[in-house]
Chain A
């Protein structure tokens, strides 16, 4: 069974540009979570989608946005890139929503902003 897949794995952008990151959850999983992990820091919660709707978002500016498609795959968009957006962006999927649902993570997309 395929795990959570993310693309691209690495990318380099310059300040002010826009980027789109993609995530395909495990088949059958309806929840998708996005996280930012800056170098040496923990995982910061960005967004949570379930059944196509945004359920919650972390403390990030509006230039961070996303969506979930009918097939439950998801995109994370970041506009007007800033240097501090350089980070590993992780996507996770879950079958059950709630406190006992195990999150399955992809290997991430590493974004470098120059």
Chain B
């Protein structure tokens, strides 16, 4: 299974944009890029996913490099409620039945008031 690499931690000021990077140099053509986040004392929650094109939703934007070997989750205006651990994972659409979806340790985002 293709792996992802994320920084262990990042800090950002409140009300400023945040760019969370993820490297996935061994990504395959059938891997979707998913982002989840885990707020303190909660289970993870889905943020966004994409395949090749950049994606936007009400929570965030996902920018995918042209070669797909990296991606960036963008929080346009961070609030204190965005402080969480952010996980970047790959899901292989061709791996149905064999998927062992594992989250790494993610990036712990701290928002500075």
Chain A: residues with CB nearer than 8 A to chain B?
4, 33, 35, 41-45, 48, 55-56, 58, 90, 92, 97-100, 102-108
Contact = CB atoms under 8 A, between A and B. Distances in A.
Interface in B51-100: 87, 91-93, 95-100
Interface of B: 30-32, 36, 41-46, 49, 87, 91-93, 95-106
Given A98-B93, A99-B30, A99-B32, A45 B45 contact: no
Nearest to B97: A55
B101 A45 contact: yes
Contacts of A97: 96
A55 B97 CA distance: 6
A100 B49 contact: yes
Closest 9 CB pairs of A and B: A105-B43, A99-B93, A99-B91, A43-B103, A42-B105, A99-B32, A102-B46, A45-B102, A42-B104
19 contacts: A4-B43, A42-B105, A43-B44, A43-B102, A45-B102, A48-B99, A56-B100, A92-B43, A92-B44, A99-B91, A99-B93, A99-B95, A100-B32, A100-B49, A102-B49, A103-B36, A105-B42, A105-B44, A107-B42
